[in-house]
Amino acid sequence: MLTFLASIALLVLGYLVYAKVVERIFGIQPERKTPAYTKEDGLDYAPMPWWKGWLIQLLNIAGLGPIFGALMGALYGPVAFIWIVFGCIFAGAVHDYFSGMMSLRHNGEQYPAMIGRYLGKNMKHIINVFSLILMILVAAAFTAGPAQLIAQVTPLSFGAALAIIFVYFLIATILPVNKVIGRIYPLFGAILIFMAVAIALALLFAGKQIPNLTFENLHPKELPIWPLLMVTVSCGAISGFHCTQSPIVARTLKNEKDGRKVFYGAMVGEGIIALIWAAAGMTLFNGTDGLQAAINAGGPAGAVNEISTSLLGTFGGILAILGVIILPITTGDTALRSSRMILSEMAGAKKKADWKQALLYSIPVSIPALYLSTIDYSFLWRYVGWSNQVVAAVTLWAATVYCLQKGKFHWICGIPAMFMTAVVTAYIFYAPEGFGLDYTLSMTLGSILTVAVGIWYVYQIRRYKQPLETEAAA
């Protein structure tokens, strides 16, 4: 139990201390007008209070990610606590803050456009396609699960449930951000928080010992911690999907000083939620073998239902069902909203956005998402995980170049960028959905690619250092 409580305390301390360091390095300008005012259009740009933006950001980035992912990560044992805490404070929250604030500084610019701005046009074109694929995969994966559960607990068929969800997606995607998302998402965000807090309090008084820290790999299938844990637990530690969501809220912030509370704060909130569910998974099934058996029997959703009902009774079961249905749907619709905004920027839309234009760019991304939601769910997740962390690594590199250009302390983004580069390069060689190579060979090849990226990083440091030195001498 001590490890669990200390982990939560460290996340809170990370927000109170390290978030201010990150904010100072970025250099906020509270007097600067935000895009919510300078580009207000009644659709995507609309001023909203920071607390509402925080709840929307939390729900956009979280959904079921820090629940399902945390349970899968708990299979490795208490070592998952370490990754969630340090990944969240030094990588995930930094990633979310810089991506959100860089978007805000560039008039609510979407992630691919920011990548092009700092990493070049070629990378922008690659990331445009990559981001759209990720958004479509996320929307499909976060639709299939709820539709299946709706079909199980109601008279509706899977197809009917899927159709209803996608009709809602289109409505939420084309309506102004403050009409649907701004009104009902804070309520859903509150449900997510209430669910996690209720589980945490019940867990503390359940009479069972929450496992304390051990570096031993307890995975029942003996899967290696590196780099699989870092891809398994993304939401709660670091997730590239977040940078695609941050521009939605960046277009609503009233002041730059709200960025620390909204972007860094929402990531810390997600980290705490992930810790709670990881602890519950390790504790209530009497070890990782029991947790693996529960996941095998009913999937992550079944494990969530069992945890909720055992700790909170019938009320917990109802809450779990609502959560498994509502939370992924709210992530799916903002994924489509983001993809609609990305597609609009790719097409170079100049006309002031309205619902007709929004619908025009929503249909091309909704159709493939609808189709993919009808295929094997596990297939979708295998590719969501790796592509998600690739996006995170690229975003951190863009933030690193941003800091280099501005003469700021670039290591705050560069070190986690190198770490995530090592993760995704090693993973793609070893994982079954990648090349499926021998573990040692995969780590060797991943290390070679990481060193190559490190050499590029050193070149960038020297490249941007020279003009700064010349300017200082002058």
Domains identified in the chain, total number: 1
For residue 474, what pLDDT is reported? 47
Number of C-alpha atoms within 13 angstroms, CB side, residue 387? 21
Q: What is the DSSP letter of 258?
A: G
Residue 388 is assigned to a structural domain of this protein: no
Question: In this predicted structure, what is the pLDDT of residue 342?
Answer: 79
Query: Which two three-digit tokens encode residue 154?
Result: 């109601």
Q: pLDDT tens digits for 251-263?
A: 999 999 999 999 9
- Per DSSP, helices labelled H in 14-105 are 19-26, 35-38, 50-61, 70-73, 79-87, 93-105
In 3D, which of 327, 48, 305, 15 has the Cα closest to residue 193? 327
Is residue 236 one of the residues assigned to a domain? Answer: yes
Return the CATH number at 262: 1.20.1740.10
**Strand, helix or coil for residue 49:** coil
The C-alpha atoms of residue 148 and residue 157 are separated, in whole angstroms, by 9
Q: Are 187 and 58 in contact (CB under 8 A)?
A: no
d(CA 90, CA 92): 6
- Joined together, the tokens standing for residue 5 give 């409580």
Say if 418 falls within a structural domain.
Answer: no
Residue 43: predicted pLDDT: 81
Neighbours of 47 (CB within 10 A): 16
Return all residues near 343 (Cβ < 8 A) that are at least 6 apart.
132, 361, 364, 365
Among 372, 364, 321, which residue's Cα sits nearest to residue 173?
364
255 within a domain of the structure (yes/no): yes
Q: Which domain holds residue 197?
A: 2-378
Specify the length of the chain in residues. 474
| Paired tokens of 149 | 């559960």
In the predicted model, residues of the chain with pLDDT beneath 50 are 473-474
Residue 455 domain-assigned?
no
Tell me the DSSP string of 52-75: HHHHHHHHHH-TTIIIIIHHHHGG
pLDDT at 77: 96
Position 131 in a domain: yes
User: What single-letter DSSP state applies at residue 213?
Assistant: P
Omega cis (within 30) before 186: no
For residues 413 and 402, give the distance between their C-alpha atoms in angstroms, rounded to a whole number: 10
pLDDT given for residue 323 in this prediction: 74
> In whole angstroms, what is the distance from residue 165 CA to residue 151 CA?
12
The position carrying tokens 């990610």 is 65
DSSP state of 160: H
Q: Is residue 165 part of a domain?
A: yes
Q: Could you give the 3-state DSSP secondary structure of residue 41?
A: coil
CA neighbours within 13 Å on the CB side: how many for 454? 13
pLDDT value, residue 349: 64
Does the residue 405 lie in any domain? no
Supply the pLDDT for residue 308: 87
